[in-house]
Amino acid sequence: MRFPGSTLIPGLIDAHVHMASWMVPALLAAGVTTVRDIGNNLDWILGLRSRLDADPRPTPRVRCCGPVLDGSHVNWPLLGEGHEDPAAVAATVERLAEAGVDEIKLYVHLDLEQVEAAVVAGRRSGVPVVAHLGEVDAMEAARAGVAELQHLSGIIHPLDGSHLVDLREVTGALIEADTALCPTVIVWDRLARLSHFVSRPDPRLRWVPDEIKERWDAFPHRHDPEGSRGRMAAVAEIRKAVPRFYQAGVPIVVGTDAPWPYLIPGFSLHDELAMLTTSGLTPAQVLTAATREASRRLGIDHLTGTLEEGKSADLLLVEGNPVSEIDDIRRVREVFRGGRLVDVAALEPGAFHPEDPVNGSLIAYAKGISRPIGAHHC
């Protein structure tokens, strides 16, 4: 046996990222072989997906949504598109589907009629619709047919932890509609404790360009102790709610929202798995959510997500056994993407390109040029 005392599992899937070029090596180094980009400039992300598909070296598989669909106010101008009415939203859904996106992402300023129009257009075009809710709550979104909710939006208020809907009632609505949740607990934790992570030593930061670390350290609301207390209350409520939803039968997938502050691509998925475990899920449950369940919800379970003959051999070998000790997921030994060995030791941190839309959005926010209304991330 080449690696005694090790465990082979399917490659990990981060179901909520916003890609920039520099993130690619870090994702592979952490054993993340598939990502879902859940909001980006359309031409840029389609171009990245094509370049990675054509690269002779192993690269992560990219699923993408294109831009986030927002209302008349657009929180993230480089990553989103605005809409005045339901007809405009439906037209954009059809245009994005024709361009080749895998899913559609709705954002906080859409009203219920716009959400409903997006779902109808998505079904007509054959693309699922996911959402980060704001004006619409989770009960309404599930009944409208939204396939997946991000961040527990529309369920728990991110700034104070108050419940926006009755948890028992919304559980039933989510199950009836087969609406999944992607909790991204880790991004709420990071936003609640920004000052804790500034200049905190972490060897994994070698994967993050200096330009990004500088923007993370400059995020404006890190000097907001009252806001941090409210966000920590929200984190506590989200952590209590996730296992309750899971045990009731609500589908759960795992995502991080990298590269928002102090979410190191790939490695922040390890952090999310650990946080979900300490929230009440078992290691086996969170690993399933980051592999088999994620592949099913992303429509790629014929390619990846389980160790089966005929699939693409996206594999992660770790020292130890993460099924019994989730922190062993950090002990990466070998990564395979599509059956090809990734030379993890030879990987180098990716170069920073200021023109990448996600990089530009982080720069604008840190400089105070862009101030989102209703959400601090997407």
Give tens-digit pLDDT for 48-89: 999 999 999 999 999 999 999 999 999 999 999 999 999 999
Q: Name the least confident of 55-64, 69-78, 194-203, 264-273.
A: 194-203
Question: Region 8-18: what's the mean pLDDT?
Answer: 98
Q: Name the least confident of 163-177, 262-276, 299-313, 353-367.
A: 353-367
Q: Which of these, 274, 160, 258, 184, lies nearest to 216 by C-alpha position?
A: 258
pLDDT for 195 beyond 90? no
**Would you call 172 exposed, middle or buried from its count of C-beta atoms within 10 A (0-12, 13-18, 19+)?**
middle
Per-residue model confidence as pLDDT tens digits over 29-41: 999 999 999 999 9
Q: What is the pTM of this model?
A: 0.96
CA distance 307 to 292: 9
* Averaged pLDDT score across all residues of the chain: 95
Q: Name the least confident of 176-185, 199-208, 318-327.
A: 199-208
Residue 200 pLDDT grade (very low, low, confident, very high; cuts 50, 70, 90) = confident
What is the reported pLDDT for 178?
A: 98
Indicate the helix (H) or strand (E) that contains 176. helix 167-177
Residue 289 pLDDT grade (very low, low, confident, very high; cuts 50, 70, 90) = very high
What is the reported pLDDT for 157?
A: 95
pLDDT for 198 beyond 80? no
Contacts 24+ apart (CB under 8 A), 169-173: 169/139, 170/138, 170/139, 170/142, 171/244, 171/245, 171/248, 171/250, 173/138, 173/139, 173/142, 173/143
Q: Which residue has the higher pLDDT, 1 or 239?
A: 239
Question: Region 168-174: what's the mean pLDDT?
Answer: 98
Question: Region 353-362: what's the mean pLDDT?
Answer: 95
Question: Region 250-259: what's the mean pLDDT?
Answer: 98
What one-letter code names the amino acid at 171?
T
Contact, 269 vs 290, CB < 8 A?
yes
Per-residue model confidence as pLDDT tens digits over 79-121: 999 999 999 999 999 999 999 999 999 999 999 999 999 999 9
User: 301: which residues sit within 8 A by CB, 6+ positions away?
Assistant: 292, 295
Question: Region 227-246: what's the mean pLDDT?
Answer: 94
pLDDT for 257 beyond 60? yes
Q: Name the least confident of 95-99, 198-202, 315-319, 331-335.
A: 198-202
What is the reported pLDDT for 54?
A: 96
